[in-house]
Amino acid sequence: MNPADVAQSALPVSADLSIFGLFLQAHWVVKLVMVGLLVCSVWVWAIAIDKTLLFNRTRRAMDRFEQAFWSGQSLEELYRSLSSRPTHSMAALFVAAMREWKRSFEGQARSFAGLQMRIDKVMDVTIAREIERLERRLLVLATVGSAGPFIGLFGTVWGIMNSFQSIAASKNTSLAVVAPGIAEALFATAIGLVAAIPATIFYNKFVAEVNKQSQRLEGFADEFSAILSRQIDERG
Amino acid sequence: MKTGTTISAAAHVGVLLWAVLVFDVKPLENAGAESIPVDFISATDFSKMTEGVKNAQKQEAPKPLVEKQAERKPVTEQAPKITEKQEIVTASTNTPPPEPQKAEPKPKPEPTPPEKTEKVEKKEPEPKADPIAEALKKEEKKNKEEDKPTEAKAEAKPVPLPQKKPPQPKQPKFDPSQVAALLDKRDPARHAATGETINRTASLGAPGAEAPELSQSELDALRARLIQLWNPPIGIRNAGDMIIRVRMLLRPDGTLAGPPSVLTSGRGAMYESARDSAIRAIFRGQPFNMLKPQTYETWKDIEVTFDPRDMLFRG
C-alpha cells in the first residue's frame, strides 16, 4: 500500500482522540460499561464522603458522651437530658440500658433476678444496630472495588475484539488503524480502575474504622454493665 | 447521604470537564529513523569497486579514477530551444512576406529581412542536447553555410526570401541519405573513465576491494562448477599438500583451447589421483558458460586452484 494512502486513510481515523471522542466512537456495549463504571464511581465517592462525615460525627459524639458520663454527673440527669431526643452510638447504648433499669425499678413488681441479663441483651441489640448503621453501604464499596477492574476489562476485551474485527474488515494493519480502537477499549479499563481503586481504599479504611468504633461501644457496654451490676447487688 | 451524593457527582463532573479540556492528544513527535540512501549494486559492481594503490595518499573519501572530464550538458536550455523552433516553423511568419513584395513599396520590406535572418541565425547556435539532434543540426548547418552567400544577398533584396524558407518545414522529414549522420561517430576503441574532475591518482581504495578483471560472481561460478565436479580421493592426510593449480587456455565460447597444464607438483598415488580428477573435472566442466564473452581477454588464460580444504569446508 502506498504510504501516502495510508497517511490519508489514517487522518480521519485519528482525528478525535480526546476523552469525549473516545467515548463516542466506542461500541455500545463498551459505552454501557463506561457509563456503568462512571455511575459506580460517583456512587463510591458519595458513600465515601457520607461515611467519612458519619464516622467523624460518631467519634465526636462518643467523645462528648464519655466526657459527660465520666464528669461525675448524676446518671439520672444524664438519662433525662438524653432520652428526650433520638440518640446514636454510645448515648443510645446508655439510654437503652437505663430504660431497662428504670423499668425494672419503677414497675410494681421489682424483678432483680434477670435484670443484669436483660440489660446485657438490650445493650447487645443496641450495639448490633449501631454497627449496622455504621456498616451500611460498605458492601457497595467492596463490590465495586473487586468487580470494577473486571467490568472495565470486559469493556476492553469487547472493544479490542470489535476493533480487531474492524481491522480484519479493512484489511489494513497499520498502527493508525489499530490504535484508536485499542485506545478506546483501554479507556474502559481506565475508568474501571478509577472507580475500583478509591473503592478498595475506602472500604479498607472504613472497615477498620467500624471495628474501632464497635470495640469502643463494646468496651463502654461492658463498663456500664459492670456499674449497673454493682448497683443491683448493692440494692438487692 | 444526600450531601455525599451531591458532592461526589459535582466532583465527577468537574473532573470530567477538566479531563476533556486538558487531555488533548498531541501526536507523537515522529523522530523516525534517519533515511539512509541506498544504492543497489550487483555483485559484479561490487567486485569492480575501485582497487586501491597501496602507496597512495590517504584521502577522506576515495575518489574514482577520472581520466577525462565529462561534459556538462546544459539542461535548462532545452526549453527555450523548443519554443524557438515552433516560432519558425509556424507558417504565419512565412506567408506574409510575399504580400508586401507585391503591394508595399520598398521601405517596408527592408526592415523585415533582418528579422528573418536574425531568426535563422538564432537557430544556428542552438545548444546541443542529444547526439541525433546534434548530427542533424550539423548537416543543416552545412546547408545553411552554403546558403549564407545568398542570405547575404537577401539582406539587400527581399525577393529571394520565400525561396529560402521552404527547406525548413522539410526538417522533421526522415531523409535516408542522412542516416549516416545519426550514427555515433565517436571512436569506439576506448572509453575513458569520466567524471566531473580529472583525477589521475588512484586513491587507496576501499579496503578489501579487489577490482579483478573477472567479476567475483563469474569466478565464483567457475570455482563452484569445478569443485562440484572434482572428486579428490577420500582420506587425504595432508590436505595442504594436495593443492593443485591448473592453468587452462580457453576459447571465447568457454571450451578448452588446449589440454590444461598442472602447475604444482607432488608425489604419491593420492596426489596423482587428485590431480587426474581435477583435470577430468576441467574437461567435464566445459563449456564454461558462466564466463561472459565480453571479458574474454581476462579469462582466456586462467589459473584455477583446487584445494581439498575448500571441499572440506563445503561439507
Residue B105 lies in domain = 78-182
Tell me whether residue A5 is in a domain: no
Residue of B1, B3, B8 lying closest to A42 (CB–CB) = B8
Is the Cβ–Cβ distance between A36 and A194 less than 8 Å?
no
Tell me whether residue B129 is in a domain: yes
Question: B75-131, pLDDT tens digit by residue?
Answer: 554 444 555 555 554 554 444 444 444 444 445 444 444 444 444 444 444 454 566
Share of chain B above pLDDT 90, in %: 3
Phi, psi of B213 (to 5 degrees): -70, -40
Residue A181 lies in domain = 32-235
Predicted confidence at residue B55, as pLDDT, reads 66
Instruction: Give me the number of domains chain A comprises.
Output: 1
Cβ neighbours of B37 (radius 10 Å):
4
Is the CB of A17 inside 8 Å of chain B's CB atoms? yes
Is the CB of B179 inside 8 Å of chain A's CB atoms? no
Q: Is pLDDT of B23 > 60?
A: yes
- Mean pLDDT score, B255-265: 84
Tell me whether residue A10 is in a domain: no
Is the CB of B35 inside 8 Å of chain A's CB atoms? no
Tell me whether residue B211 is in a domain: no
Is the Cβ–Cβ distance between A88 and A133 less than 8 Å?
yes
Interchain pair B4, A45: CB under 8 A: yes
E strand or H helix that includes residue B291: none
Is the CB of B30 inside 8 Å of chain A's CB atoms? no
Q: What is the β-pairing status of strands B68-69 and B194-195?
A: parallel
C-alpha torsion B307→B311→B314→B315, nearest 10? -160
Tell me whether residue A27 is in a domain: no
Please determine, for the modelled complex, whether the ipTM score is greater than 0.90: no
Tell me whether residue A22 is in a domain: no
Tell me whether residue B118 is in a domain: yes
* Cα distances (angstroms) measured from residue B56 to each of A168, B53, B194, B204, B207: 61, 5, 20, 5, 13
Tell me whether residue A1 is in a domain: no
Tell me the pLDDT of chain B averaged across its residues.
Answer: 67
DSSP A123: H
Tell me whether residue A17 is in a domain: no
Whether a cis peptide bond, with omega within 30° of 0, leads into B287 is yes
Contacts of A226 (CB under 8 A, 6+ apart): none
Is the CB of B22 inside 8 Å of chain A's CB atoms? no
Q: Say yes or no: B151 and B225 in one domain.
A: no
Over its length of 236 residues, how does chain A's per-residue pLDDT go in tens digits? 444 444 444 444 445 667 777 788 888 898 999 999 999 999 999 999 999 999 999 999 999 999 988 888 888 888 888 888 777 788 888 998 888 888 877 766 666 678 888 889 999 999 999 999 999 899 999 999 999 999 999 999 998 888 888 888 887 777 777 787 888 888 899 999 999 999 999 999 999 999 999 999 999 999 999 988 888 888 76
Instruction: Give me the number of domains chain B comprises.
Output: 2
**Domain containing residue B302: CATH number:** 3.30.1150.10
- Please report residues of A whose CB lies closer than 8 A to that of B11: 45
Q: What is the β-pairing status of strands B194-195 and B244-249?
A: unpaired
Cell numbers representing residue A85 in the block: 431526643
Measured in Å, how far apart are chain B's first and last C-alpha atoms? 85
Tell me whether residue A82 is in a domain: yes
Q: Angle of helix A89-106 relative to helix A175-235, nearest 10 degrees?
A: 30
Interchain pair A45, B8: CB under 8 A: yes
Tell me whether residue B4 is in a domain: no
Predicted confidence at residue A18, as pLDDT, reads 73
Q: How close is the nearest chain B Cα to the Cα of A7, in Å? A: 13
Among B266, B283, B287, which residue's Cα sits nearest to residue B275?
Answer: B266
Phi, psi of A32 (to 5 degrees): -60, -45
Interchain pair B23, A18: CB under 8 A: yes
Among A84, A115, A85, A83, which residue's Cα sits nearest to residue A100?
Answer: A115
Phi, psi of B211 (to 5 degrees): 45, 55
Which residue is listed with cell 463532573? B13
Interchain pair B23, A19: CB under 8 A: yes
For chains A and B, count residue pairs whose Cβ atoms are closer than 8 Å. 45
Tell me whether residue B283 is in a domain: yes
